[in-house]
Each structure stands twice: as C-alpha cells, then as structure tokens.
A = this chain, B = another copy of it.
Amino acid sequence: MKISTRGRYAVRVMLDLAENNTGECIKVKDIAKRQGISEKYLEQIIGLLTKAGFLTSVRGAQGGYTLTRDPSAYTVGQILRLTEGSLNPVACMDAQPNQCERCDTCETLEVWQDLANAINNVVDHVTVADLLEKQRARLGNYNYSI
C-alpha cells in the first residue's frame, strides 16, 4: 500500500514544471537537479507523462518540456493512475465487471470499495494548481499589489 517513487516523482515533475513555467521549454537536466532525482530515471517518468499528452516535448538542442494544459487541469489522481496504474486497493476491482468468482458473496469487497472511494476522493480533488498555490503561499510569493 505504498505509492512508488515513480508516482511521487511524477507529481513532483508536474509541480516543478508548473512552478518554473516561463513559457519556455524546461529540460530534464534542470528538473533532475532541482528535484534531486537521477536524470535517466526522470527521462522514463517524463516519457510516460509525455506519451499520455500531459506534457508537450520539443526535441533537439534547446528542447525540453512544458505542461500541455493549465496546472488546474491536472489532478494528482490522473498523474498517479498514469504512473502507478489503478489505485484500487484490490486487483479484482480493476476489471469491470468484477471477474472474481467469489465477488457475489465476498464479504470484504465493500470495505475495499469504500477504501477506493476514499482514496479517489482525495486524489481526484487535488490539482497541480492547488499544490502550486500552497507552495507559493508558504514561500510568501503572492503578489498582493492592487
């Protein structure tokens, strides 16, 4: 019941790109440096995010990545499901309808469903923009000028 580094790093990548967005491409090398994550491992994770359309890539020198959409358009749930796979706590819930031969009489399925709902309810209601906002609030970077 742990989220792997792949999923955690993916969320941090998305937040890093949102935070450091200047309209220009951001290189893996820079993200890796800021986040303290190996470049090569990040490449793979960013590859997933790019393939899914979360990121837009530019190849070649001066290339890099940008968020495809606004930070508010990405939930933590979307990022985790992409990188971790389904967030259901038991595998039998992944197929629909449930193929488990015991599912009709399974006494514990309801607990797992409640658990899945609770998990989804958290991760699907936090966006990258929410994380960014909290980050900036803590850093006191808000611009309160009128």
Chain A contacts to B: CB under 8 angstroms:
1-3, 8, 11-12, 15, 36, 76, 80, 84, 86-91, 102, 105, 107-108, 110-112, 114-115, 118-119, 121-123, 126, 131, 134-135, 138
Contact = CB atoms under 8 A, between A and B. Distances in A.
Task: Report whether over half of chain A's contact residues are helix, strand or loop; otherwise say mixed.
Answer: helix
Contacts of A134: 107, 110
Nearest to A130: B111
Nearest to A106: B12
A122 B119 CA distance: 10
Given A2-B89, A89-B2, A12 B108 contact: yes
Best-surrounded residue of A1, A76, A105 (most CB of chain B within 10 A): A1
Nearest to A1: B87
Given A108-B12, A111-B123, A119-B118, A2 B1 contact: yes
17 contacts: A1-B1, A1-B86, A1-B119, A2-B90, A2-B91, A3-B89, A3-B112, A11-B111, A15-B108, A36-B102, A76-B111, A111-B123, A114-B122, A114-B126, A115-B119, A115-B122, A118-B121
Contacts of A87: 1
Given A1-B86, A105-B138, A119-B119, 12 more contacts: A1-B84, A1-B88, A1-B89, A2-B89, A3-B89, A3-B90, A12-B107, A76-B111, A107-B134, A108-B131, A115-B123, A118-B121
